Structure 1
Amino acid sequence: MNITSFLLYCIIITITPGPTNIVILSTVHNFGTKKAMEYTYGATIAFGLLLVISAMLNTMLITAMPKILIVMQIIGSFYMCYLAYQIYKMDTSKPTVNQTGTFVSGFLMQFLNPKVLLFTMTVIPSFILPYYTAMPAVTISVITITLIGFLAFITWVLFGTIFKAFLQKHTRAVNVMMALFLAYAAVMIWV
């Protein structure tokens, strides 16, 4: 397994602006750090749960149909390229949606967030299952990915104001860099 590509993919997907991160940022600005942390805990637990569900489903699919792994890798690579393009053309000048920062809203947001759903369904078959199918290895991978997601959410909470100002000031450069890293991760699945 290419650890660099795996970590780049996980970090880029979890730290780049998406519905959950934008709501966290908005919650920090509108309701404070405590409410944003409550939201973050709910989002993290749901993120981990989605990863567990993905690992179980993908492991069953690979056991039942071993060739499905190749299909999932292709889907994962195309999805990463699509995300790279979306990050490249991202417009952060649009206003964010204000939501209350509750544990339940953070939890439920993950099940409605297409970025998270597609990520959790592609990361396991693209990076983990081609190399590790034993339960302990898959479990450690799920925990690692969940921790990366939690740290990304915390980054948005702790540095919300600074991060938002930086993104607005250097939007184009940040988006191009993140898009290139994501495209690299997509290509490295096949190398």
Structure 2
Amino acid sequence: MNMTSFLIYCVIVTFTPGPTNILILAAVNHYGTRKTMKYIAGASLAFFLLVAASVILNHVLAASLPPFLSVVRVVGSIFMLYLAYQIYRMDVSKESAGQAITFASGFAMQFANPKVVLFTLTVIPAYVMPYYTSKLMLSAFVVIVSLIGLAAYVTWAVFGTLFRKFMQKYQKAANIITALFLVYSAFLVSGIAEFAKG
């Protein structure tokens, strides 16, 4: 097993902008670090469960993977567009937008986040399972991947905290830019670009 390649893949996928990371950044800006940590806790638990499920259900999912991933891409893209709209209007309706920043929404978001679902379905089966089959080793890698994911979420929260005053000063512009990043993410994971290429 190429541990360096495995770790680089994990870090790149979890730390680069995606729906969860972008929402964490926006949440810290509007609701503070403490409230956002509840969202991060829910997202981290779901991330761990998805990684564990990919190990347990690897053979079952492999048979139905193409249709399953297509459904995840469509549902995830629609959900990401909804989140983009919520971020865009945060300063207009803080109570409505605040409902998206809970433990439960952080948990649910991961199951509708194509980036997370695709990553968790592939990372352990592709990198680890060809080399390790013992339950202890597989469990250790599930924990390692989950901790990398948690570190990414906390890093985005810290980043949001450090730049909170700047983002609040330019709140509307920050909302629009953040929402546009989510729209772009939704476009990429929807598969529309791939379909257009042929």
* Structure 1 gaps, min length 5: 63-67, 76-93, 169-191
Output the CA distance in 1 between the equivalents of 2:129 and 2:38. 33
In the TM superposition, residue 32 of structure 1 has moved relative to its aligned partner by 0.4
1:31 corresponding residue in structure 2: 31
User: What displacement does 1:159 show?
Assistant: 1.8
User: Which runs of at least 4 in structure 1 moved beyond 6 Å after TM superposition?
Assistant: none
Structure 1 Cα separation of the partners of residues 47 and 162 of structure 2: 25
Bigger helix fraction: 2
1:182 aligns with none
Q: Which amino acid aligns with 1:54?
A: S
Q: CA deviation at 1:95?
A: 8.7
CA positional deviation for 1:61: 5.4
Distance 1:23 1:136 in 2: 34
Whichever residue aligns with residue 37 of structure 1, its letter is M
**TM-score, scaled to structure 1:** 0.65
Structure 2: gaps (5+ residues) = 67-83, 91-96, 167-173, 175-198
1:41–1:103 contact (8 Å) kept in structure 2? yes
Percent identical pairs in the alignment equals 50
Number of residue pairs matched? 137
Q: CA RMSD in A?
A: 2.6
Q: What is the Cα deviation at residue 35 of structure 1?
A: 1.1
In structure 2, the partner of 1:21 is 21
Cα deviation code 1:98-154 (max 9, x no counterpart): 543110010000000000000000101111101101100000000000000001100
| Residues 1-191 of structure 1: pairs in structure 2 closer than 5 A | 1-58=1-58, 60=59, 97=87, 98=90, 99-100=97-98, 101-160=101-160, 162=162
